[in-house]
Amino acid sequence: MTIALNNSIAAMTPELIEWRRDFHRNPELLYDLPRTSRIVAERLRALGFDQVVEGVAKTGVLGVLHGAMGPASAKEKRALFRADMDALPIQEASGADHASVSPGRMHACGHDGHTTMLLGAARRLAETRPFDGTLIFCFQPAEEGGAGAQAMIDEGMLERFPVKGAYAVHNWPGLPVGEFAVVRGPAMASAEAFNITVEGTGGHAAMPQRVRDPIVAASHIVAAIQTIVSRVVDPLDNAVVSVTSFHGGEAFNVIPDKVEMKGTVRTFSVAVSKSIEVELKRICERTAEAFGTNARLHRPPKLPYPATVNHPAETELALDAMRAVAGFDRVRDDMRPVMGSEDFAFLLRKVPGAYIFIGNGDTAGLHNPKYDFNDEAIPYGVAYWTELARRVLPA
């Protein structure tokens, strides 16, 4: 970081750490973020933002900040910076002094840190306004499976505040603190879910000849699903098909009538996704039929998330900002795509932009009960957002 930028951000970092730990202690889920969104809106107003809009997609918050030359009406002079706010339904096991006080909820993906870094940048940029145009700060609910980005779009966010580009940051365990990384092009996979119900005829476990066992049929379906990636998808295409939940029966001596399964599909291609869906349906129906049972494939309405695809020009702007903050040698521009998913993808389908990663150091992995956002990353995130504002909307 430049000395001036480092000093200005270092001075606010202790307070930002307290903000982050307060968010961590008080996690909220999906769209039910009354405390988090209220604090975000109050802080933006206290910073002198030109406009603060609450209640977008229930608890989303938008902050509007004009540069030194005043407001911009054309989208060519506007950009959107986004942070996610929601936590996960996980029981925390980090042992941190600031651990969650809400049983069964925790910030296991670092959204507390993402919100804090963007608030820190909002504070710094509101003081200096070193850009020409208008920045839209988007604090989004329901990234974790609730498609909050799409909900904000559906409620007219981009029509009300048209922008030329959109940007987001995610922490990355295993990447050293002070380092950044980006994937050129497709960065994160699409996320699709499926439910499978297998129905047979239950009965006494000691009299299997009188039943049509859905557990046996479902087990063969799980085994056959493993052949989709290995024998149906082109070996040069990336794909994951995982069965993640299998429920049937309650007693040791009763064969149930029904088995229910859940799973996920991850790809970077719409064509690959469609071929997987066709194969899933075929395997379920025909395997079940072979065992004298019936199977139904159902796709939950909240998914899919599309693939997160970075745009070339915006990726280069993000790289310039990362290198200005961390130095050329501490920025990876060749990171491999990630099979996890991200609902910022909905924004990148509407507006060109870039989704980048910031080092979280040697910590537990994302969605792990022992995970905690690394506070040492906060000043680097604030510095990145501040530098990016200068480059996206140069004065």
Q: Considering the chain, tell me which residue range(s) the CATH 3.40.630.10 domain(s) occupy.
A: 3-188+307-392
Contact residues for 343 (Cβ-Cβ < 8 A; gap 6+)? 142, 143, 147, 148, 149, 150, 305
pLDDT tens, position by position, 72-107: 888 899 999 999 999 999 999 999 999 999 999 999
Q: For a pLDDT cut of 90, what percent of the chain falls above it?
A: 93
Q: Which CATH architecture has domain 3-188+307-392?
A: 3-Layer(aba) Sandwich (3.40)
Query: Using 50, 70 and 90 to split pLDDT, how confident is the model at 5?
Result: low
Work out the average pLDDT over 6-32: 95
Task: Look at residue 80 in the predicted model and tell me its pLDDT.
Answer: 98
| Pairing of the two strands 180-182 and 331-332 | parallel
- CA–CA gap between residue 310 and residue 182 (Å, rounded): 9
3-state SS class at 332: strand
Cα–Cα distances in Å, from 277 out to 192, 297, 329?
A: 10, 9, 42
Cα–Cα distances in Å, from 145 out to 88, 90, 341?
A: 10, 14, 10
Q: Is the peptide bond before 176 cis (omega within 30 degrees of 0)?
A: no
CB 330 within 8 A of CB 180: yes
Cβ atoms within 10 A of the Cβ of 81, count?
Answer: 27
- pLDDT for residue 2 is more than 90: no
Q: Considering the chain, tell me which residue range(s) the CATH 3.30.70.360 domain(s) occupy.
A: 192-298
Give me the torsion for CA of 80, 88, 309, 297, rounded to 10°. Answer: -130
- CA–CA gap between residue 175 and residue 377 (Å, rounded): 11
Token pair, residue 9, equals 């951000």
Q: What is the mean pLDDT of the chain?
A: 95
Strand order in the sheet with 353-359: 51-56, 60-66, 134-140, 78-84, 165-172, 353-359, 180-182, 331-332
Work out the average pLDDT over 19-24: 98
Token pair, residue 80, equals 């959107």
Task: Look at residue 302 in the predicted model and tell me its pLDDT.
Answer: 63
- Of the candidates 293, 344, 292, 294, the one whose C-alpha atom is nearest the C-alpha of residue 318 is 344
DSSP sequence for 290-322: HTT-EEEEE--TT-PBPPEE--HHHHHHHHHHH
- pLDDT for residue 3 is more than 50: no
- CA–CA gap between residue 170 and residue 373 (Å, rounded): 11
CB 63 within 8 A of CB 137: yes
Query: Using 50, 70 and 90 to split pLDDT, how confident is the model at 127?
Result: very high
Work out the average pLDDT over 280-301: 95
- CA–CA gap between residue 98 and residue 21 (Å, rounded): 6
DSSP sequence for 221-259: HHHHHHHHHHHTS-TTS-EEEEEEEEE--SSTTEE-SEE
- Of the candidates 344, 375, 316, 360, the one whose C-alpha atom is nearest the C-alpha of residue 138 is 344
Task: Look at residue 304 in the predicted model and tell me its pLDDT.
Answer: 82
pLDDT top residue among 177 and 5: 177
- CA–CA gap between residue 15 and residue 297 (Å, rounded): 50
Q: Which CATH architecture has domain 192-298?
A: 2-Layer Sandwich (3.30)
pLDDT tens, position by position, 177-215: 999 999 999 999 999 999 999 999 999 999 999 999 999
pLDDT tens, position by position, 312-350: 999 999 999 999 999 999 999 999 999 999 999 999 999
Task: Look at residue 313 in the predicted model and tell me its pLDDT.
Answer: 98
- pLDDT for residue 44 is more than 80: yes
- pLDDT for residue 378 is more than 70: yes
The residue behind tokens 């989303």 is 60
Contact residues for 132 (Cβ-Cβ < 8 A; gap 6+)? 67, 68, 69, 72, 77, 393, 394, 395
